[in-house]
Structure 1
Amino acid sequence: MKKLALLAALVATPLAAQDADPAADVSEARLRADIDTLVAFGTRHTLSEQDNPKRGIGAAVDWGLAEFRRIGAACGDCLEVVAPETVVEGRRIPQPTRLRNAVAIQRGTERPNEVVIVQAHIDSRGSDPLDWKVDAPGANDDGSGTVLVLEAARQLSQRSYPVTIVYALLSGEEQGLYGGRLMADYAAEQGWDVKAVLNNDIVGGSCGSDGYCDDEHVRVFSEGPRADLTEELRAAQRREGGENDTPSRNLSRWLDGLADKAEGVLDVRQIWRTDRMGRGGDQIPFLEKGYPAVRITVAVEDYEHQHQDLRTEDGTVYGDTPDEMDFPYLAKVTQFNIRALDKLASTPKPPVVTANAAVRTDTLIEWQGVEGASYYLVGKRRTDEPAWREDQVAIMAFETPVGEATPMEERKLSHIEPVRGDDWIFGVAACSSGGACSPFASAVPAGQFAPIAAAEGETE
C-alpha cells in the first residue's frame, strides 16, 4: 500500500516546488551592449585579421574568451575556459587558416561527463563569402546567438547542476560549418556523453523580408532519420518505424512541451527538417557524429539583412545591423534557452528502451536504468500522432531494477491495460528526485541518446 500511495502521488501531484526562474534576470540592455561590441569589430569573417586587437575574427574570439573568464571570475572560477584550435583549408577557405572557438565549461557536480551544449557562431560575412575586408556587422547572424550564449553563461553559472553545461562560440560557420565540426570533434575527444546540443543561429529578429512579423514563436529544427544510421538500422526502421523518433526529434518535442508550460512567453514551432531548405547550421556536425542536436532560430527570416553588404539600392536598405533587430524578442529566446538548459542539466539521461510486441496482445517494454534517476515515465502515442500523450505512467525505480523486464500486463499498480504494440510508439523518460524529467527515448531502432557507433561498441 505504501508503494501504491507513493506512485499515485507521483502521477497526480507536482513532484517538487520549482526554484526561482533561472531566466528572470536576462537583460535586454546587456544583450544590446554585447551586440554593439560585436558589431564594432567591423567584420568577424573567418578569413579576416587574427592579430588586430580592434578588428576581425581574432579580436572577436579574444573578446569572447575574455567574457567567459570574467563570468567565471564572478562565480568563483566555476568556468573552465578553453580555445579549441585547428588549421583549416577547403570550401570557401582558399588557404590554410587558423580557426578557434571560444568555449566555457561548467562542470557538473554529480555526472560531469554527461554534457549539454549551448552554442552559436561568432563569425560573420557580407554578400561575397570570400570577401574578408568588407564590413560585415553580423548583428542578427549570428551576433544574436553569440550574446545569447554569453547571457546563458552569466545566469546559469550562478547555480550548480549535476550535469555539465558547455557554452560555445564557434568560428567558420559561414565558410562551411568548420567551427561546428571542430567543436563536435572536441566533444568526442573529451569522451563527453552529449545528451543535447542547442544551436542558436539567427535568434534576434521578428519580421521577415515580406513585412510579416511574428514575435510569439521560435522555430526548432530537428532531423528525421539519424545521420549516423547504419544500413542494418536503416533497414530495421523501414520495417518497424522510428524515422520520426530520433533523439533530436524527441528533444524538439521536449522543448515544445517546456515552452507550453510557460505562460506569456514564446511558443515552439517544431520544424521536422534538419535545417531550412537548402541551408545548414552548426548542429549538423554533431548530428553526423550521432549527438542529439537541434537548431533554434527565428520564426521568420529577413533576407535583406542577412549575408548582405551594407548599402541602399532602389530605396531598400541592406545589411545585418542592430537597428533591424528585435531585442525584446531576443530576450525571450534567451530566456527560453536558459530555462531549457536549467532543466536539461538537472535531468538524468534518457534511458535505452526496447519494445517487443511480436505475435502477442501486449507489449513488453524494457529499459536500462540510468544514473540519477529516481523514477521513470512511460509514454505512448499512436504511430500517426505527433506528440507524446499526456496520460504518462510513473514507474518507481525500485519497481524496475536495472535489466529486469517490465511487461505492460504486469503493471497492475499503474492500472495499465495490455496494449497491442503494432499500433503504438512507446518511450521512456528518466526523472530526478526533484521531478525534472528527460526527453523521451523512443523504443525504436536507433532511438538511444548516444552515437550508434558507441552503442554498438558497448555490445561487442
Structure 2
Amino acid sequence: MTRRRALLTAAVAAPLVAPARAAQAAGPRRRPPGSELKEILREIDPRRIEATVRRLAAFGTRHTLSAQDDPVRGIGAARDWIHRQLTGHAAASGGRMTVELQSFVQPVSPRVPTPTTITNVIATLRGSVTPERIYVVTGHYDSRATDVLDFTSDAPGADDDASGVAVVLELARVLARRAPEATLVLAAVAGEEQGLYGSDHLAQAYRDAGADIQGMFSNDIVGTGDAHDGSRPAPHTVRLFVEGVPTAETVAEASTRRSVGGENDGPSRQLGRFVGEVAANPQTGMDVRVVWRRDRYLRGSDHVSFLLRGYPAARFTEPRENFAHEHQDVKVVDGVQYGDLVEFCDFGYIARVARVNAATLWSLANAPGTPKGVVIDTTQLTNRTTLRWTLGSEPDLAGYEVLWRETTAADWTDVVAVGKVDTATVDISKDNVQFGVRAVDTSGHRSPAAAPRPSA
C-alpha cells in the first residue's frame, strides 16, 4: 500500500459487506466538545446578550432608510454603536481581529426609493493556520414596521433581528481572545428588510476576491423558543434551514444531480449534518431541528445571498414564529400587543443559540477543510467503488474517512478510515449507497463531508 493510494482489503472491508446491519448499530454520530470549546460555551453571557438587544431596540427604528447622522435615533446611530462594540472586542485579540465599515450606495429599487448608503459592520478574526479558509456568521441590524417604506415609525426589531446581532457581538467578544485555525467573519449587515442588500454586497465582494468560504450562517429571528400565542414552547430547539438542490447549480450540474440522486447531498446539506453532530449537546443546551428547505415559505434571509454565489450556507431561526411580533407597527388591537418588542425575547434562549453558533464555528475552524475535488470513478462497471480527492495541505492533517449510507437514510451510518491518501477503494457498489469523504486531523477533529461527483 502506498501513501497516495489505499485499497481496502477483504480483511479490512469485511465489516462493510452488510452495511444495513452496521447502520442499525451506528446511527448519527454526536461529537462532544473539547475542553477549549467547553470554556467558550461557558463564557457566553445571557446578560450581555440582553444588554445588546435592549440597546439596539432603544434606537427607536433601525430602518435602512432612517437617519444616518442622528446620534440617538435611526440606523446610523445603531451602526456606530455596533462598530464601537466590535472595535472594543477586537482590542483584546492581539491584532488578530480587525473591524471595518463596508459601505456602498444602493441604487433605486422598489423598496429603496432614493439612492441610499448601506453599511455592513464586519469583524474578521484571522486564522492562525489556514487563514484563507473562511466561515461567516451574520445577523442583520436593520428593522422595519408594517409598511416596508415607513422609516419614521418605531420599529424596535428586538427579535428581528437584534437577537441575531446579539449573537454576532457575543461571539466576537468570546472568540476575540482565541486563535482559531481558520478565519472567522462576524458581521452585522444592513438592508436585509429592503432586499438582502447588505449581505448581497458582502457575498459578492468575497466572490470577486475568490474567497474560500466553506460555510456561512445567518442568525435571523432567534429571540425566543416561546411563541407567546398559547402554543407549545420549545425553549431548547432552534431550526436550521438548509437547501437541497444548490441554488447556484448549473444546467450541467443539475443533469448530473438527477442522474445520481444527489438532491440530498449538496454542500449546504453536508453543513447541516455537521451542525447536528457538533452543536446539539448538553453543553449548548439545544436540539438543532434541521429543516430541508432553503428557508420558510414566502421568506428569505441573508444566507440566500451566499447560496447565490455558490457558497454553502444555512439559516438559524427560532422554532415557532409569532407574526404579531414581526414586521408590525407597535400597537394594541383588541387587547393584543403587536410589535417586535424586547419583552417578547428570551435572553437565555438567545444565549443557547449563540452557543450553537460557537460550537459550530469553533469545530469548523479547527478541523481540516472540507475535502475538495472529490470524484467517484465511473469509468468502468464494477461492484467496488473508487473515490479520489485532492490531498489537503493542513500541517496537522492525519488522513481521511470514507462515509456511506443507504440512499433513503437522512444521515451517514457507516465510516471507515483510509489514511492520508487521495484515493480509496471500498468493496461496496456505488449503485446502492451514497458516499462521502471527510478529513481528520491529528487531534481527531473532523471536517464536513463532501459528496463525490462522477468522474469524467
Q: Describe the shift of the 1:17–1:101 C-alpha distance in structure 2 as closer, same or farther (beyond 3 A).
A: closer
**Structure-2 separation of matches of 1:17 and 1:210:** 39
Q: CA deviation at 1:190?
A: 3.4
**Structure-2 separation of matches of 1:16 and 1:34:** 27
What SS class does the counterpart of residue 81 from structure 1 fall into? strand
Paired residue for 1:144? 163
Q: CA deviation at 1:445?
A: 6.2
Q: How does 1:90-239 map to 2 (within 5 A)?
A: 90-208=109-227, 210-212=229-231, 213-239=233-259
Q: CA deviation at 1:74?
A: 2.0
**Structure-2 separation of matches of 1:165 and 1:198:** 11
Q: Which amino acid aligns with 1:295?
A: R
Contact 2:37 2:362 in 1 (8 A): no
Q: Does 1:302 align with 2:322?
A: yes
Paired residue for 2:392? 370
**Structure-1 separation of matches of 2:184 and 2:267:** 19
**Structure-2 separation of matches of 1:250 and 1:257:** 11
1:37 to 55, 59, 62: 55
Q: Does 1:394 align with 2:417?
A: yes
Moved over 6 A (4+): none
**Structure-1 separation of matches of 2:360 and 2:253:** 30
Q: CA deviation at 1:423?
A: 1.1
Q: Which amino acid aligns with 1:395?
A: V
Contact 1:16 1:435 in 2 (8 A): no
Contact 2:376 2:454 in 1 (8 A): no
**Structure-1 separation of matches of 2:341 and 2:392:** 46
Q: Which amino acid aligns with 2:139?
A: A
**Structure-2 separation of matches of 1:359 and 1:119:** 46
Contact 1:379 1:392 in 2 (8 A): yes
**Structure-1 separation of matches of 2:75 and 2:137:** 20
Deviations 1:129-157 (A, max 9, x none): 00000000000000000010000011111
Contact 1:375 1:430 in 2 (8 A): yes
Q: CA deviation at 1:17?
A: 5.8
Paired residue for 2:23? none
Q: Describe the shift of the 1:74–1:260 C-alpha distance in structure 2 as closer, same or farther (beyond 3 A).
A: closer
Contact 1:15 1:435 in 2 (8 A): no
Q: CA deviation at 1:264?
A: 7.0
Q: CA deviation at 1:182?
A: 1.1
Q: CA deviation at 1:374?
A: 1.8
Q: Which amino acid aligns with 2:315?
A: R
**Percent of aligned positions with the same letter in both sequences?**
38
What SS class does the counterpart of residue 365 from structure 1 fall into? strand
Q: Which amino acid aligns with 2:103?
A: E
Paired residue for 2:453? 444
Q: Describe the shift of the 1:170–1:263 C-alpha distance in structure 2 as closer, same or farther (beyond 3 A).
A: closer
Q: CA deviation at 1:210?
A: 3.7
**Structure-1 separation of matches of 2:37 and 2:63:** 39
**Structure-1 separation of matches of 2:454 and 2:194:** 34
Q: CA deviation at 1:261?
A: 4.4
Q: CA deviation at 1:205?
A: 1.1
2:87 to 60, 69, 75: 69
Q: Does 1:23 align with 2:41?
A: yes
Paired residue for 1:383? 407
**Structure-2 separation of matches of 1:31 and 1:17:** 24
TM-score (norm 2): 0.89
**Structure-2 separation of matches of 1:44 and 1:263:** 34
**Structure-2 separation of matches of 1:394 and 1:200:** 34
**Structure-2 separation of matches of 1:332 and 1:237:** 36
Q: Describe the shift of the 1:17–1:70 C-alpha distance in structure 2 as closer, same or farther (beyond 3 A).
A: closer
Q: Which amino acid aligns with 1:138?
A: G
Paired residue for 2:430? 421
Contact 1:286 1:292 in 2 (8 A): yes
Task: Count the aligned residue pairs.
Answer: 424
Paired residue for 1:240? 260
Contact 1:145 1:203 in 2 (8 A): yes
Q: Does 1:430 align with 2:439?
A: yes
Contact 1:242 1:444 in 2 (8 A): no
Q: Describe the shift of the 1:196–1:264 C-alpha distance in structure 2 as closer, same or farther (beyond 3 A).
A: closer
Provide the aligned C-alpha RMSD in A: 2.2
Q: Which amino acid aligns with 2:256?
A: A
Q: CA deviation at 1:91?
A: 2.6
**Structure-2 separation of matches of 1:176 and 1:370:** 38
Paired residue for 1:415? none
Q: Which amino acid aligns with 1:40?
A: A
What SS class does the counterpart of residue 284 from structure 1 fall into? helix
Paired residue for 2:96? 78
**Structure-1 separation of matches of 2:153 and 2:131:** 43
| Structure with larger RCO (C-alpha < 8 A, sep 6+) | 2
Q: Which amino acid aligns with 1:250?
A: Q
Q: Which amino acid aligns with 1:49?
A: A
Contact 2:240 2:317 in 1 (8 A): yes
TM-score (norm 1): 0.88
Q: Which amino acid aligns with 1:200?
A: N
Contact 1:120 1:146 in 2 (8 A): yes
Q: Unmatched 5+ residue regions in structure 2?
A: 13-25
Q: Which amino acid aligns with 1:70?
A: G
Contact 2:281 2:287 in 1 (8 A): no
**Structure-2 separation of matches of 1:56 and 1:267:** 36
Q: Unmatched 5+ residue regions in structure 1?
A: 409-417, 447-458
**Structure-1 separation of matches of 2:206 and 2:361:** 18
